[in-house]
């Protein structure tokens, strides 16, 4: 899974209608995420939206976010996705699938049209989808859509143009009157930016703003936000710890690495759950980040994960942290 997957899923979750109108190139009345379980255990849909178009047609919009490596090949994965979705929703379903390639050179040979022949030149099976190479797009293309919700995607466009485009992107984010919208756009922009120089550039543009930023929180969300929840975070942490210990070549190093990896995996799950459920402003995210940097108790982390899963608001979570409520208010 590419490190951009999680931030992209969060963006689509909040701005589904904007993404749907952009990708379908039509007016949309609504776009709601659908939780779907495919019969195949090896297939997992990134995002599926139920889109109601202005003409009343209902379309399922399937989105996949892909880096350079895909196992199996994306064409075969799409064959599985499309066939499973058709079986699940019926042959009459209107289905549009898009692969957004996020890393340089990813998908450069994918035309989105594939077929299997019968040995005599006749087509037995044909399937198609849209292959969108974000890394090959110009940031100006995103700006021309006139959709603020898509601005974070500029971070994934042509790297040789970013320095020229970013000032305008930041300016457009600043112009948004809705504070929550500004926060989400900024969060997404920084989370999708992998180049350290670009990050510093964005931060310099925002240095005089009244907003507070917690770059370590955002970087950890971007780089370690692969886990979708507690189970994946713990599993990844254990694997990381195992690798560290084995590389050390000593039983002591193995045990220590595994323990550290498990703790890091749980902290990763905390950040992922926080971003997904609450997407807090940076001043409040800083409180949680500071707490995580100083905690090494697995039981406390486990309790925090449970609390984040059931809490109705993020302030309630902060209030239960040591000095959390006081720090958040200050």
Return the CATH fold of 5-136: Trna Endonuclease; Chain: A, domain 1 (3.40.1350)
- At a CB cut-off of 8 Å and minimum separation 6, what does 198 contact? 155, 162, 163, 166
Neighbours of 138 (CB within 10 A): 14
d(CA 184, CA 15): 10
Domain coordinates in residue numbering, the chain: 5-136, 145-211, 221-329
pLDDT of residue 42: 59
Radius of gyration of the chain (CA): 21
pLDDT, mean of each 10-residue run, the chain (330 residues): 73 92 95 77 79 94 88 88 90 93 91 91 93 93 92 89 86 84 82 77 66 48 46 47 49 48 72 76 76 80 78 84 53
CA dihedral 181, 224, 193, 74 (to 10 degrees): -100
pLDDT of residue 13: 87
Peptide bond preceding 269 in cis form (omega within 30 of 0) = no
């Amino acid at each position: 899974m590419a490190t951009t997957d999680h931030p992209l899923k969060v963006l689509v979750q909040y701005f589904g209608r904007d993404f749907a109108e952009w990708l379908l190139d039509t007016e949309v009345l609504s776009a709601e995420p659908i939780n779907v379980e495919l019969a195949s255990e090896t297939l997992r849909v990134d995002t599926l939206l139920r889109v109601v178009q202005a003409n009343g047609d209902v379309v399922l919009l399937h989105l996949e976010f892909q880096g350079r490596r895909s196992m199996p090949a994306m064409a075969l994965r799409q064959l599985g996705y499309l066939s499973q979705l058709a079986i699940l929703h019926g042959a009459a379903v209107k289905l549009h699938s898009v692969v957004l390639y996020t890393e340089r050179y990813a998908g450069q040979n994918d035309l989105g049209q594939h077929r299997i022949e019968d040995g005599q030149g006749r087509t037995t099976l044909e399937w198609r989808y849209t292959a969108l190479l974000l890394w090959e797009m110009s940031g100006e293309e995103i700006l021309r859509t006139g959709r603020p919700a898509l601005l974070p995607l500029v971070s994934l466009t042509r790297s040789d143009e970013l320095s020229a485009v970013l000032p305008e992107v930041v300016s457009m984010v600043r112009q948004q009157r809705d504070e929550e919208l500004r926060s989400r756009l900024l969060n997404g922009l920084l989370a999708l930016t992998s180049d350290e120089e670009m990050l510093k550039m964005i931060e310099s543009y925002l240095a005089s703003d009244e907003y507070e930023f917690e770059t370590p929180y955002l970087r950890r969300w971007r780089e370690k936000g692969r886990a979708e929840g507690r189970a994946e975070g713990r599993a990844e942490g254990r694997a990381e710890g195992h690798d560290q210990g084995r590389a050390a070549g000593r039983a002591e190093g193995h045990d220590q690495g595994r323990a550290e990896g498990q703790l890091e995996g749980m902290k990763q799950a905390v950040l992922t759950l926080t971003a997904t459920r609450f997407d807090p402003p940076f001043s409040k995210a800083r409180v949680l980040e500071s707490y995580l940097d100083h905690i090494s108790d697995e039981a406390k982390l486990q309790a925090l994960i449970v609390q984040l899963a059931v809490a109705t608001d993020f302030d309630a979570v902060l209030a239960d942290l040591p000095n959390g409520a006081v720090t958040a208010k200050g």
